Amino acid sequence: MDRVDAQLTFLTEADKLKSVLRGTTLCDGTRRENSGEHSWHIALYAMVMAEHANRPINLDRVIKMLLIHDLVEIDAGDNPIHGDHDPAATDVIEQAAATRIFGLLPGDQAQAFRALWDEFEAAETDDAIFAKSIDRVQPVVSNLETGGGTWPEYNVTAAQLQSRVGAKVERGAPAIWAALKARIDAWFAQATTGAKE
């Protein structure tokens, strides 16, 4: 029962991810999404968009990475890619969170989950590169669906999107970025024209 108790403790702790609000809103714009919703949604994105990975991937491993990648936000909170935060300080907090949260699991699972999380963070394997790409795609789609969403709030520019998001998506799924870039360019062209009027 000790193993079951440890697993249930971890799963109960993971429930806290549903209370972490993100910078991105739902596609209908009614509210900000939580990190639990985000994790589920990008796992679904990976299932649907796996054919666009630029290298062969193990979809099961990608989905596992995406389901656990943001658990550290239980302690660290959401740090939007366009937000004002110190990446080095955030990394320290997230590393400690990974140790604490995955450490709730039985030893073998704790080690396996942590290794998968570390692999995602390093983004060096084909699976992790694609997972990172998909993680960046979903917020872009949400912002496009809501007329720019939180981009104006964070003063996001097209150049920032290219360097902070596009480069990562292109690395793992260039066809997806090509499709998104056309929509992004159209949004910024319209936003610029609207601002001049």
CB 44 within 8 A of CB 168: no
Helix (H) or strand (E) holding 166: none
Neighbouring residues of 14: CB distance < 8 A, sequence distance ≥ 6: 71, 74, 101
**92 pLDDT above the threshold of 80:** yes
Task: Could you list the beta-strand ranges (E) of the chain.
Answer: 21-25, 32-34
What gap in Å lies between CA 12 and CA 33, rounded to an integer?
20
Domain housing 59? 2-196
- Provide the whole-model pTM: 0.92
Both tokens of residue 66?
């995406």
Both tokens of residue 65?
């990475």
Overall domain count for the chain: 1
Both tokens of residue 14?
């993971």
**165 pLDDT above the threshold of 80:** yes
Both tokens of residue 122?
């390093």
Average pLDDT over every residue of 144-148: 93
For 1-29, write each residue's pLDDT tens digit: 699 999 999 999 999 999 999 989 999 99
For 102-135, write each residue's pLDDT tens digit: 999 999 999 999 999 999 999 999 999 999 999 9
pLDDT band per the 50, 70, 90 thresholds, residue 153: confident
Task: Tell me which of 79 and 152 has the higher pLDDT.
Answer: 152
CB 131 within 8 A of CB 138: no
DSSP string, 107-157: HHHHHHHHHHHHHHHHT-SHHHHHHHHHHHHHHHHHHHHTTTTTTTTTT--
**67 pLDDT above the threshold of 60:** yes
Helix (H) or strand (E) holding 34: strand 32-34
Residues in the chain: 197
Chain position carrying tokens 């955030």:
90
What gap in Å lies between CA 22 and CA 52, rounded to an integer?
26
User: Hey, which residues does 34 pair with through a beta bridge?
Assistant: 21
* CATH number of the domain within which 163 lies: 1.10.3210.10
